Chain A
Amino acid sequence: MNREILIIGGGPAGLECANSLISLGYKVFIVEKSAEPGGHLRKWDRLFPYGASASETLEKLLQQSNKALFFYETEVKSIKKSDGVFIATLSDETQLHVGSIVVATGFSLFPAAKKEEYGYGIYNGVITNADLEDAFKTGKKEFFKANRVGFVHCVGSRDEKVCNRHCSKVCCVTAVKQACEFKDLNPEAEVYCFYMDLRMFGRGYEDLYLKAQNKYGIRFIRGRVSEVAEDVDGCLVLKAEDTLTSRPLKVTLDLLVLMSGISKNPDNDEIALMLGIDTDEDGFLSLCEPNLNNNKTQVEGVFLTGSVTGPKTLPETLNEARAAALAVHKYLSR
Chain B
Amino acid sequence: MKEFGYSLSPSSRVDLDKVDKSKQNRLFALEPGFKKCMSCGSCSATCSAGNYTDVSLRRAISYIQNGQDQLAVNMLRNCMLCGKCLIICPRGINTRNLIRNILNVYGEKQI
Q: Say yes or no for B59: interface residue by CB 8 A criterion.
A: yes
Q: Say yes or no for B23: interface residue by CB 8 A criterion.
A: no
Q: How far is the CA of A210 from the CA of B93 in the complex (A)?
A: 12
Given the interface pairs A213-B36, A219-B65, the reply to whether A247 lies near B12 with Cβ below 8 Å is yes
In the complex, the answer to whether A249 meets B35 with C-beta atoms within 8 Å is no
Q: Say yes or no for A242: interface residue by CB 8 A criterion.
A: yes
Given the interface pairs A213-B36, A222-B39, the reply to whether A250 lies near B15 with Cβ below 8 Å is yes
Total B residues in contact with A, Cβ cutoff 8 Å: 22
In the complex, the answer to whether A251 meets B66 with C-beta atoms within 8 Å is no
| Minimum C-beta distance from B46 to chain A (A) | 18
Q: How far is the CA of A247 from the CA of B10 in the complex (A)?
A: 13
Q: How far is the CA of A220 from the CA of B13 in the complex (A)?
A: 18
Q: Say yes or no for B17: interface residue by CB 8 A criterion.
A: yes
- Per-residue CB contact flags for chain A residues 224-264 toward chain B (1 = under 8 Å, else 0) read 00000000000000000010110111111000000000000
Cβ–Cβ < 8 Å partners of A245 in chain B: 14, 59, 62-63, 66, 68
| Minimum C-beta distance from A21 to chain B (A) | 44
- Per-residue CB contact flags for chain A residues 169-210 toward chain B (1 = under 8 Å, else 0) read 000000000000000000000101000000000000000011
In the complex, the answer to whether A249 meets B13 with C-beta atoms within 8 Å is yes
In the complex, the answer to whether A248 meets B13 with C-beta atoms within 8 Å is yes
Q: Which of A190, A222, A250, A252 has the most CB of B within 10 A?
A: A250
Q: How large is the interface on A (under 10, 10 to 19, 20 to 34, 35 or more residues)?
A: 10 to 19
In the complex, the answer to whether B14 meets A242 with C-beta atoms within 8 Å is yes
Contact pick for A244, options B13, B15, B62, B91, CB 8 Å: B62
Q: B60's closest neighbor in chain A, by CB?
A: A245
Cβ–Cβ < 8 Å partners of B91 in chain A: 210
Q: Say yes or no for B111: interface residue by CB 8 A criterion.
A: no
In the complex, the answer to whether B35 meets A213 with C-beta atoms within 8 Å is yes
Cβ–Cβ < 8 Å partners of B37 in chain A: 213
Q: A222's closest neighbor in chain B, by CB?
A: B39
Q: Say yes or no for B8: interface residue by CB 8 A criterion.
A: no
Contact pick for B16, options A192, A210, A217, CB 8 Å: A192
- Per-residue CB contact flags for chain B residues 20-48 toward chain A (1 = under 8 Å, else 0) read 01000000100010011111000000000
In the complex, the answer to whether B66 meets A249 with C-beta atoms within 8 Å is yes
Q: How far is the CA of A89 from the CA of B81 in the complex (A)?
A: 75
Q: B11's closest neighbor in chain A, by CB?
A: A248
In the complex, the answer to whether B35 meets A214 with C-beta atoms within 8 Å is yes
Given the interface pairs A219-B65, A244-B62, A245-B62, the reply to whether A210 lies near B36 with Cβ below 8 Å is yes
Q: How far is the CA of A244 from the CA of B17 in the complex (A)?
A: 19
In the complex, the answer to whether A247 meets B17 with C-beta atoms within 8 Å is no
Cβ–Cβ < 8 Å partners of A209 in chain B: 38
Q: How far is the CA of A210 from the CA of B66 in the complex (A)?
A: 20
In the complex, the answer to whether A249 meets B65 with C-beta atoms within 8 Å is no
| Minimum C-beta distance from A182 to chain B (A) | 17
- Per-residue CB contact flags for chain B residues 56-87 toward chain A (1 = under 8 Å, else 0) read 00110011011010000000000000000000
Contact pick for A251, options B17, B32, B38, B68, CB 8 Å: B17
| Minimum C-beta distance from A310 to chain B (A) | 27
Given the interface pairs A242-B66, A244-B62, the reply to whether A251 lies near B16 with Cβ below 8 Å is yes
Contact pick for B39, options A210, A244, A250, A251, CB 8 Å: A244
Q: How far is the CA of A214 from the CA of B35 in the complex (A)?
A: 5
Cβ–Cβ < 8 Å partners of B21 in chain A: 190
In the complex, the answer to whether B35 meets A250 with C-beta atoms within 8 Å is no
Between A and B, 12 residue pairs with Cβ closer than 8 Å are A210-B91, A213-B38, A217-B35, A244-B39, A244-B59, A245-B62, A247-B13, A247-B14, A247-B68, A248-B12, A249-B15, A252-B17
Chain B interface (Cβ within 8 Å of chain A)?
A: 12-17, 21, 28, 32, 35-39, 58-59, 62-63, 65-66, 68, 91
4 nearest interchain CB pairs? Answer: A251-B16, A249-B14, A248-B13, A244-B62
